Amino acid sequence: MLDIKFVKENPELVKENIKRKFKDHKLPLVDEAIALYDAKKDANDKAGILRANRNKLSKEIGMLMGQGKKEEAEAIKAQVTAQADELKALEVQETELEAKLKDVMMKIPNIVDPSVPVGKDDSENVEVKQYGEKTEKNFEIPYHTDIMAKFDGIDKEAAGRVAGEGFYYLMGDIARLHSAVTAYARDFMIDKGFTYCIPPFMIRSNVVTGVMSFEEMDAMMYKIEGEDLYLVGTSEHSMIGKFIDTITPESKLPMTLTSYSPCFRKEKGAHGIEERGIYRIHQFEKQEMIVVCDPAESMEWFDKMWSYSVELFRSLDIPVRTLECCTGDLADLKVKSYDVEAWSPKQGKYFEVCSCSNLGDAQARRLGIRVKKEDGTKYFAHTLNNTVIAPPRMLIAFLENNLEFDGEKYSVKIPEALRPYMGGKSVIEEN
């Protein structure tokens, strides 16, 4: 969320930013926000005058009563009572205008970093760099759920009976592999200096609206019936929420956390090969990283965070590339975002496995996450987040790139970095 004073002083800049994001339908929000702010300020000024006058008259009443001038005091009391009704009406108006202004301001997109390429949607995202040679196999790679089935590692049919579409059972070595990559990712981030955390898996509505746009919330979140609680769609939400309404000494920055959680999402379905299997599901597990930092350091942290994803995937022999999201593909709160995509030798293309985002002070402003300098002045922190790994997508990339076939049976090579988490195994063999 932008500062309304910034919007009022720079309306054309804010409108141009909206145009760069190809969201022209939001242009009227700028003038609407300024009008609401002016109306609120006018109500505040009038209410302030009435409050000052009430205090002045109250003193006069006390003096007159002390002098025994009861009739004069009663006349002023009547004046105070009349002004009290006017003040009450203004206070109601102030509250209503504040709520309307906040609603409008939360719909105005954050200012995109000048380095972000202009584009209408994800089809115009820009490849930054590829890491590792694309894996090529001399045999036909089965579909990912078929790979898992060869190791007795998945049961979607039973999950369908238990929970419906969008769920699965992982079994045996495949389930162990899932836990191994999650544990490896946890320790990888701890070694980078991040503090490990297991956060709440449910959050209140004020946290939800503090960390994401209304459009994202409606598309993603599951609400707990009868409760002011939502299941997390990603643990970054409860991780950022940890700092709601806090003032942190500047000396404690940056705050770097890595978290594990299950995630729950409404979204499901895509086109072609991604419509089947376990690409898009209602429940999955994830290791996440977040940073709360000084605004001057946020871009430096942005580069560190996506590079950690590249390093992790390459340590598991998975080729990846970085892709910069264009203006039209950025969610409203984001300043800049990179996707890290893994190579799929089955599909002959890259697909998203991590998303690294710098949100500037948008989340901090919504949630009241402030930093206190030594001189006592305060400012809003910058917040960033990035996926460490998110099975099952990460598992798909892992299995396809590490799959072997000797002409009779399939096996999966376990990279050296992962072997301690697999009981020392160097290979998983087909039953």
Is residue 294 domain-shared with residue 410, that is, in the same domain? yes
Distance between CA atoms of 68 and 376, rounded to whole angstroms?
Answer: 49
Of 105, 138, 164, which one is at a domain's C-terminal end?
105
Is residue 281 domain-shared with residue 334, that is, in the same domain? yes
Is residue 93 domain-shared with residue 242, that is, in the same domain? no
Distance between CA atoms of 217 and 233, rounded to whole angstroms?
Answer: 9
Of 51, 76, 105, which one is at a domain's C-terminal end?
105
Please check whether residue 397 lies inside any domain of the structure. yes
Is residue 215 domain-shared with residue 89, that is, in the same domain? no
**Structural domain of 36:** 4-105
In terms of phi and psi (left: phi > 0; alpha: psi -120 to 50; beta: otherwise), the region of 325 is: beta
Is residue 99 domain-shared with residue 154, that is, in the same domain? no
Is residue 85 domain-shared with residue 187, that is, in the same domain? no
pTM of the model: 0.89
Distance between CA atoms of 155 and 168, rounded to whole angstroms?
Answer: 6
pLDDT of residue 212: 87
Type of residue numbered 313? F
Torsion sign, CA atoms 297, 300, 303, 308? negative
CATH code assigned at 380: 3.30.930.10
Overall number of domains in the chain: 2
pLDDT of residue 345: 96
Is residue 81 domain-shared with residue 216, that is, in the same domain? no
Please check whether residue 113 lies inside any domain of the structure. no
pLDDT of residue 46: 87
Is residue 60 domain-shared with residue 149, that is, in the same domain? no
Please check whether residue 13 lies inside any domain of the structure. yes
Of 105, 140, 161, which one is at a domain's C-terminal end?
105
Question: Among 171, 169, 146, 179, which Cα is nearest to 389's?
Answer: 179
pLDDT of residue 213: 77
Question: Among 345, 339, 337, 354, which Cα is nearest to 393's?
Answer: 354
Ranges of residues in the chain whose predicted pLDDT is under 70: 55, 57, 60-61, 64, 73-74, 77-78, 80-82, 267-276
pLDDT of residue 183: 97
> CB-side exposure of 117: number of CA atoms within 13 Å?
16
- Is the preceding omega at residue 114 within 30 degrees of 0, hence cis? no
Torsion sign, CA atoms 231, 233, 236, 240? negative
Q: What is the pLDDT of residues 387-403, one digit of tens each?
A: 999 988 999 999 999 99
pLDDT of residue 51: 77
Please check whether residue 114 lies inside any domain of the structure. no
pLDDT of residue 32: 97
pLDDT of residue 272: 45
